[in-house]
Structure 1
Amino acid sequence: MTGPVPELAERATACAEFLRDCDRVLLASHIDADGLTSAAIAATALERAGIPFEVVFENQLDEDAIAEIAATDYDTVLFTDFGSGQLDIIGDHEDAGAFTPVIADHHQPADRDTQYHLNPLLFGIDGAAELSGAGASYVLARALAEAADHDVAADGGQTATTARADNRDLAGLAVVGAVGDMQASGGELHGANEGIVAEGVEADVLETGTDLALYGKQTRPLPKLLEYATDVRIPGISGDQSGALRFLDGLDLDLKADGEWRRWAELTPAEKQTVASALVKRAVSRGVPASKIDRLVGTSYVLSEEPVGTELRDASEFSTLLNATARYERADVGLGVCLGDRDEALERARTLLRNHRRNLSEGIELVTEEGVTHEDHLQWFHAGDRIRETIVGIVAGMAMGNAGVSRSKPIVAFAEKTADEGDDADADAVKVSARGTHSLVREGLDLSVVVGEAARDVGGDGGGHDVAAGATVPAGREAEFVDRADEIVGEQLG
């Protein structure tokens, strides 16, 4: 097998062949969009390979969560979108004979390894920018299909070559995971992700093209699309409802249908070109820097089998829908949507999404009104219990660029951890989420190192990626964490 990422082919094959010989598997995955798509890809591949499995989700794969997994009667555990960073703990349970781990992840590995460890970082591929957890799961899924084909051929049968049979139809989910993991730097996916995109296009489950790089092209009416476009702020349009309406009314286009504003996805190519050109002209006339204007256009990733005008057709909107499920303790709903439930699960996900958007809006308003504290090299705020720990990082990232919140410094957010029912162990812990920008990463920022080292220095632990990371630290030691993190960021950015 060569597969979409040749560098991982040999290891993926070894993992797949081991899984093929297992009687059953416990599939454990993270809860964000990348984790949910990772789980869905792996679950589909296991089902198609005829391997019985059960799925569990964890917000944080800590010692207690791993101990609970070890206490099950599963001999094999497949970890997706986490596991690498916890290999020291997982390895202790493996050595004790609790289970054999198979890991498909893209996070920085702990200083230990295991035989069935599929991680791009082990093969010179950037796991923060070039391959997500869903991408690693997709590589494994392709290898599982290959292993199944070999079994059929060995029995004298004929192997199938359809996209479903070789799992290429799962490429769309892998792209959703990568986009949800903020890997579309500069408006498009890079590196190993490109091989997955190519397979998705070949399998007719994915379409790509140059398009307006604004969130909500499938579902938001045009005025809302422009009003809420905050990544590139255009004076007189962004954040200005009446301004957005005046802009659209000034175009020589019929942008309404039956009295209602149309959506971007419903426009003809010529109409899109007219609107986009007018936006660029407005941005230039209002003094928006050329480097920011360039960000108005990027590569679109469309799931071609999903209906036009739905959240599921656009990779970015799909990933947001998924984030609105597991972050509110409904990972089962997100998984159901990924696995094709377009009835009960999708409706429940949409309800959760409306709630999610409201919470994000209120969180951003809170941060903007109360402001952030600026250190020499970073900025931070403490939300206490006013923003859920599962979304405080998203709020922090979205607040960057608002009044008083800089995009030239990484932002650190604190929130009280939510104790599990009947367990007050988390009452003395605080969740830390950190967000940066890809331009800061290009200057040398690595939040995984910043958060990990600062957390461990105050008795906590953490990690993640260069552009986004998280940790848990003891309550009362936030100031120490900020001091140490600010010092490390200063060293990285010179």
Structure 2
Amino acid sequence: MGEHPEFFNLINRTADEIQGWIQDNEIIRVASHLDADGLSAGGIISQALYREGGKFHLRIIRQLEKSFIKELADEKRKYYIFIDMGTGQINTLEEYLADNKVIIIDHHKPLNENKSQFLHVNPHFFGIDGVTEISGAGIAYFVAKAMNEQNTDLANLAVVGGIGDRQDKGKYFSLSGLNELIIKDGTNAGILKEERDLRFFGKESRPIHLSLKYTTEPFIPGISGNEENCIRILMSAGIKPKENKKWRTISDLSQDEKVKLNSAIVKFALKKGFDRKEALNLIGTSYTFLNEEKGSVLRDAREFSSLLNACGRMSKGGLGISICMGDKDSFEEALKSLTEYRKKIAEYLNWFQEKDIVQEKKAIYHFHGGKKIIDKMIGTITSIATSSNLIKSDKPLIGIAYIADAENLSKISARGFPELIEKGLDLGKALRDTIKKLKIEGEAGGHNIAAGAQIPTDLENKFLETLDTIIEKQILNKNRNL
């Protein structure tokens, strides 16, 4: 690799280390996150280990908490791999697993310089932005490829991880940075096609009107979640929803039909208050997996990503890993999770836009899911609300939800906008500083533009007030230095 040689030297060292563990014939304990990036990354490492004859046990978790790390320590295993997590919990890992062999494959921003005793693969140590240039799945892919060149067939999973972690911030919503090396591998292997196309959900697998209905990024007023209006749109555009008694998909449309459909949607949505700038976002970069069947959810990167997110958020992370491992028998069950997931998203987003749901402070917008939104979905809704411009981009959005299986514990999901990052916003640091200032038992971590935390429920208001002050100072201090 020509660029970032030190980073890829570490990738090679990590691959060699894992190969050594495999030769030792011991069970390797693997833990990964439940979102699309974590599941993709977990699937990549699992495939790489399996193909080399390695013994491993994978666990998908919501967050790398101290209680889980203590549980792992009590197992007294020799080898551990943490994927898409671990950077923010490095001190706890060193406290409980100091005598073990540990590899951390993560792209979240480190708390400090890399002085860990563990093999810690993180792009930030090499000046590579883990927010936009490479995902957890992307790093996992480079490790797998270094273990065996034949693992280039896992490039598509790395693309799914990048899309799932919202790294499509390049021109026309494309992946950039080190992600481009992965796209090149997939393209050269004949399993990936990159092109500009309409950005509607389910363009490969769903009837056109349902594709429009379940599109939430961007959220289209009067269309997202409204099947009747979606059918009217097709009629007004003169597009036949069926051909030879078979439902057509977006991918079945000619270029001329796609132009007509896009024009009809924009015309309708503008009357419903759709932002003109947002209308440009209906067209973007598409990633098609040529090794998957036409009409399959797995053929489109964004659909695949949404499928994995659905599995993780609906408490079926193991099902998502099975899909990543190529288990077609799990597909139907996963599709049911996806359908339920999309219905919930549309329902939650319509609720989000009701009056007085979103509250405002000096430096933040915030809302509480209450009894409406579960903790595993609050991050998804907060992300879509910001990426679809359902709120103004002058302040970050903070979402709060009660954690279902815990007493007096709430989940915090924070999302910002690129223009706020340029003004000095760092949500990961802001959440950590808030917890530290309040001296509360809580956990926080993430990126500058997207971060999360867990806090005691009875401290929610105090947390928001303190966070508001800290974020206000972040932006003010940056402005003073300009």
Please give the TM-score of this superposition, normalised by the length of structure 1. 0.86
Matched, 1:57 2:60: yes
For 2:426, the equivalent position in structure 1 comes to: 446
Does residue 181 of structure 1 match 2:184?
no
- The corresponding residue for 1:481 is 463
TM-fit CA distance, 1:6: 4.4
1:355 counterpart = 2:340: yes
Distance 1:103 1:4, change over 3 A: farther
Equivalent residue for 1:40?
43
Retained in 1: the 8 A contact 2:44–2:140?
A: yes
- Partner SS, residue 21 of structure 1: helix
Note closer, same or farther for the CA distance 1:405–1:251 as it changes in structure 2 (3 Å cut): closer
Q: Is 2:151 the counterpart of 1:167?
A: yes
Equivalences for residues 360-439 of structure 1 within 5 A: 360-369=345-354, 371-400=357-386, 405-419=391-405, 426-439=406-419
Q: For residue 244 of structure 1, report the CA deviation from its aligned partner.
A: 3.8
More deviation in 127-136 or 270-279?
A: 270-279
For 1:31-50, what per-residue CA distance to the aligned partner results, in whole angstroms no more than 9, with x for missing partners? Answer: 11111111110011112222
The 2-side partners of 1:225 and 1:391 are apart by: 21
Whether the 8 Å CA contact 1:213–1:298 is kept in 2: the answer is yes
Shift of 1:126: 0.6
1:34–1:133 CA contact under 8 A, matched in 2: yes
Identify unmatched segments of 5+ residues in structure 2.
Answer: 477-482
Unaligned runs of 5+ in 1: 146-164, 420-425
| Distance in 1 separating the partners of 2:390 and 2:118 | 49
Cα deviation for residue 240 of structure 1 reads 5.6
Which SS does the other structure have where 2:411 is aligned? Answer: strand
- Paired residues of 2:237 and 2:261 also in contact (CA < 8 A): yes
Aligned residue pairs total 465
Deviations 1:212-233 (A, max 9, x none): 1232322332233334545456
**SS, match of residue 476 in structure 1:** helix
Instruction: Indicate the residue corresponding to 2:480 in structure 1.
Output: none
* 1:469 partnered with 2:451: yes
Select which of 265, 273, 297 maps to 2:283. Answer: 297
Mark the CA change 1:68 to 1:428 in structure 2 (over 3 Å): closer, same or farther.
Answer: same
Structural mapping, 1:16-415, within 5 Å: 16-22=15-21, 23=24, 24=26, 25-95=28-98, 97=99, 99-111=100-112, 112-145=115-148, 165-186=149-170, 187-232=173-218, 241-258=227-244, 261-276=247-262, 279=265, 291-343=277-329, 345-369=330-354, 371-400=357-386, 405-415=391-401
CA 1:57–1:225 in 2, change beyond 3 Å: closer, same or farther? closer
Partner amino acid, structure 1, of 2:178:
A
Contact 2:225 2:347 in 1 (8 A): no
Please say which of residues 175-184 and 240-249 is displaced more in the overlay. 240-249
* Secondary structure of the structure 2 residue equivalent to 1:61: coil
Deviation of the 1:245 alpha carbon: 3.4
The answer to whether the 8 A contact 1:435-1:469 is kept is: yes
In structure 2, what residue type is equivalent to 1:461?
Answer: E
- What SS does structure 2 have at the residue aligned with 1:250? helix
- 2:298 counterpart letter in structure 1: L
- Decide whether the 8 Å contact of 1:129 with 1:183 is kept in 2: yes
8 Å Cα contact 1:368-1:405 kept in structure 2 = no
Whether contact under 8 Å (1:455, 1:472) holds in the other structure is: no
Q: CA deviation at 1:382?
A: 2.0
Letter of the structure 2 residue corresponding to residue 105 of structure 1: D
Q: In the TM superposition, what whole-angstrom CA distance separates every residue of 1:386-437 from its partner, at most 9, and x where no partner exists?
A: 3211111112233458998444432211111233xxxxxx312211111233
What is the Cα deviation at residue 306 of structure 1? Answer: 1.3
CA distance in 2, matches of 1:206, 1:213: 17
Distance 1:192 1:252, change over 3 A: same
Query: CA contact under 8 A between 1:401 and 1:407: conserved in structure 2?
Result: no
Q: Once the 2 structures are TM-superposed, how far is the Cα of residue 14 of structure 1 from its aligned partner?
A: 1.0
**For residues 256-283 of structure 1, what are the alpha-carbon distances to aligned partners after superposition, in whole Å with 9 as ceiling and x for unaligned?**
2245652101223443344345556777
Cα distance 1:10–1:404, how it changes in 2: closer, same or farther (>3 A)?
closer
Task: Give the TM-score, by structure 2 length.
Answer: 0.88
- Note if contact 1:58-1:65 (Cα within 8 Å) is conserved in structure 2: no
Stretch moving more, 473-482 or 173-182: 473-482
Letter in 2 for 1:410: P
Identity across the alignment (%): 35
Provide closer, same or farther for how the CA distance between residues 79 and 283 of structure 1 changes in structure 2, counting only shifts above 3 A: same
Which segment drifts farther, 221-230 or 26-35?
Answer: 221-230
Cα contact 1:16–1:140 (8 A) shared by 2? yes
Residue identity opposite 2:54 in structure 1: I
Pairwise CA distance, 1:355: 2.4
